[in-house]
Amino acid sequence: MRTLTCFKSYDIRGKLGEELNEDIAYDIAAAISDIRSPKIVVLGADSRPSSASLKAALTAGFVDHGVNVQDLGMCGTEEVYFATTHLEADFGIEVTASHNPLDYNGMKIVGAGSRPLDPLTEMDALRQRAETGGFKKAAQAGSITQVDPREDYAAKVISFVDVAKLKPLKILVNAGNGTAGPTFDIIKSRLLAVAAPLEFIEMDHTPDPRFPYGIPNPLLPENQPRTAAAVQKHGADFGVAWDGDFDRCFFFDKNGGFIDGYYIVGLLARQALAAHPGATIIHDPRLVWDTRELVEQAGGHALQSRVGHSFIKALMRESGAVYGGEMSAHHYFADFMHCDSGMIPWLLIAELVSTSGKGLHELVADRQLRFPTSGEQNFTIKDPAGALERLEAELGAEAIEVSHADGLSLDFGEWRLNVRPSGTEPLVRLNIESRGDVTLVERQLARVQALLEAM
């Protein structure tokens, strides 16, 4: 029996070839069919060269085992989430590697109602069945139907804002040659049809599997200058850039300054609490002080989740939270099937800029000073678990609080850190924040970095 290494903490992700290929995709579909007996499955794919063939293999695996496939074609991950609920399907799968290198691909899977699969039970059972193989085809093959619910999806996205409150704004949007462009076009046309006073400057808008300007990952510092320069060149009020499957969006202020996703979580949390007083807000453990303070000030309840869409979506459903945010720029909304969206946040920020009379820089400037951060630092380490143990041995005695809720979090009073293995890549990720002391962040970052690099 083979071992499938493409099954990660909450997604399927692997290097093309041995880790993930068409045969494995077929067996994943067959395994879902065998252990869950779905009747309808929604499939979508991003614009990567390998995504179409992997989706075709999934389709064959489902059809051969009697499952009806609703094919969305090329689309973003959140469109699969929407369609799974909208079309009352039993499963939804987006073939995507998001921001991973071109020689990677993967799948994001949800069940009925766009509910995530539990990593410890459902995903593990799926892996085991796919590894076992020996599938028997159904007597009656399933069907394939091409569907396009994008207009309904766009209407849902726009429903999150009051268009009448929008003021004239110029917004630069960078699709990164990923899947965001065609979907944005529908949202844009609907906004303009109801006289939304928004002007858009579009760049890298057409899907291009060659990714001529690099893999669409706006979180990488080397990918930010082009967007920043375009914002300044066109005099935009702010800029938005998406990753490859646009379930994350990133913001630039009018000066081209990149806004860490951490501070956007705080802005969206306050907006959510203005609409839902006293509600619960979910945050991740990597950076926490800004979000917790803002939620408390707004009369809400802050609740920490493990990193990852499966964990946050499950906790949102369990707790009744109205919004959840990760510093990595995933933003989750209860009214969007408890799922993450890269299109809803920029509309909400446009509404906030319109109603507050403040630019994006002004909205976050005081928070950046109050809780400065290191930015996420990534390290390639062969033994992540051992590295975390050794780091705790070095620094744990100085901390006033130690948490293993997700990786290792150490709180030293005036600064804190979180270091955790990536759930999708062979990396250890480090984040540091302080209470208003940029120099302290820099000093402790150098200290922790030296410890990690010596491991």
Query: Positive or negative CA dihedral for 13, 16, 17, 20?
Result: positive
What is the Cα–Cα distance from 283 to 323, expressed in whole angstroms?
A: 9
Q: Strands 68-74 and 40-45, how do they pair?
A: parallel
Query: Do 62 and 26 touch, CB atoms closer than 8 A?
Result: no
Q: Report which DSSP code applies to 22.
A: H
* Residues in CB range of 61: below 8 A, 6 or more apart: 25, 26, 27, 28, 29, 30, 33
What's phi and psi for 70, nearest 5 deg?
-100, 110
Q: Count the neighbouring beta carbons within 10 Å of the beta carbon of residue 122.
A: 18
Task: Report helix angle 180-193 to 150-158, nearest 10.
Answer: 60
Amino acid identity, residue 306?
A: R
Residues in the chain: 455
Q: Count the neighbouring beta carbons within 10 Å of the beta carbon of residue 393.
A: 9
Q: Strands 91-95 and 40-45, how do they pair?
A: parallel
What is the Cα–Cα distance from 42 to 427, expressed in whole angstroms?
A: 31
Task: Report helix angle 360-370 to 261-275, nearest 10.
Answer: 110
Look at residue 204 and give its three-state secondary structure: coil
* Residue 328 annotated to the active site: no
Look at residue 415 and give its three-state secondary structure: strand
Query: Positive or negative CA dihedral for 443, 448, 450, 451?
Result: positive
What is the Cα–Cα distance from 415 to 260, expressed in whole angstroms?
A: 18
Label each residue of 134-190 as H, E or C: CCCCCCCCCCEEECCCHHHHHHHHHCCCCHHHCCCEEEEEECCCCCHHHHHHHHHHH
Question: What is the arrangement of strands in the sheet containing 428-434, beginning at the earlier edge strand?
Answer: 377-379, 428-434, 415-421, 408-411, 401-403
Query: Positive or negative CA dihedral for 247, 19, 55, 206?
Result: positive
What is the Cα–Cα distance from 283 to 289, expressed in whole angstroms?
A: 10
Q: Which of 1, 2, 3, 7 is nearest to 423 (CA)?
A: 7
Look at residue 379 and give its three-state secondary structure: strand
Catalytic residue among 33, 47, 98, 434: 98
Question: Beta strands of 62-115 (E only): which ranges?
Answer: 68-74, 91-95, 104-111
- Active-site amino acid positions: 98
